[in-house]
Amino acid sequence: MTTLGLTGGIGMGKSTAAQLLRERGVPVIDTDDLARQVVEPGQPALAEVGLLFGPEIIGSDGCLVRAELARRVFADPEARVKLEAILHPRIRQLWQEQIKVWRSEGKALGVVVIPLLFETGAEKELDATVCVACSAATQMERLRSRNWPPLQIQQRIHAQWPVEKKIAAANFVIWTEAGLDVHGAQLDRTLARC
């Protein structure tokens, strides 16, 4: 089985690439989904996050107050590192377990979407890496459409490696400026080489 890590800067097309892969029958697991899963009510990670950031980070419904947590950790790199120390090992364990399931099912290929793939050293556990990328102008346009304030956009961009560094580290690059047909064709060429 071949395992691919899919990464890229925020707003550069990871979710779109993941959807296009699923449409092609490729099994995909997204670590952003896993990150939400590990802090659901009753999960040990949620309790740890509450101890670290205070009880106000958990709403009256028992759920994580994501907007408040994001505001804090993207404004404070030290707080982000502490949060990642709680979440990243759990997330890694889950995607590693999923790869084992795919292997047991005889899958030929599996893709793990990891925004911080290189930052966390996860590429060492995968067969190849794919970076989706676009221009800074397109990235900003996409992020503005999320209605985030400019400061939040800059904080989130700076919380990751520059896309140029990700491109240099990746085995394959998908440029996401054009339409879905071009995006899909690039994915098809990449898959054919894996």
What string of H, E and C letters represents the secondary structure of 73-114?
HHHCHHHHHHHHHHHHHHHHHHHHHHHHHHHHCCCCEEEEEC
For 29-43, give the DSSP string.
EEHHHHHHHTTSTT-
CATH of 2-192, one of 3.40.1190.20, 3.40.50.1820, 3.40.50.300, 3.40.250.10: 3.40.50.300
58 DSSP assignment: B
Structure tokens belonging to residue 96: 């590693």
SS3 assignment, position 2:
strand
Which residue bears the tokens 């556990």? 125
Helices and strands of the chain, counted as H and E runs: 9, 5
Residue 129 per-residue DSSP state:
E
The whole-number pLDDT of residue 152 equals: 86
Domain ranges of the chain: 2-192
Whole-model pTM?
A: 0.93
- Digit-coded pLDDT (tens) for 39-91: 999 999 999 999 999 999 999 999 999 999 999 999 999 999 999 999 999 99
